[in-house]
Amino acid sequence: MIIASGRIYLYAGWVHSLKEKRMVVKSIIDKVRHRFNVSIAEIENLDMHQSIVIGIACVSNSSKHSNSCIQNVIDFIEQNTDAVLESFQIEIL
């Protein structure tokens, strides 16, 4: 069993409240859950209104598939949000 996890750091400079941030995060999470079979949640900086950190995880029987799955999710998020992708980390166990 191979477990891949990813941490995505986004910056939403136009967001001025936690309520706006929650709307952006909820939209991203709903779109990803609808399209991909991964676990996804906001994991850090919950009280910082312009910083978004999202964690994703995928379980597979091959490291190539797991890496591809996480990379596809990152690409999808980058293309479907106005937030700027600052960085990401992928870890395969």
Q: What total of structural domains would you count in the chain?
A: 1
Q: How far apart are CA 87 and CA 45, in angstroms?
A: 15
CATH for 25: 3.30.70.1120
Mean of per-residue pLDDT scores for the chain: 93
- Reported pTM: 0.89
**Cβ neighbours of residue 48 under 8 Å, at least 6 residues apart?**
none
Full residue range of the structural domain in which residue 12 is found:
2-92
Q: What is the pLDDT of residues 11-51, one digit of tens each?
A: 999 999 999 999 999 999 999 999 999 999 999 888 898 99
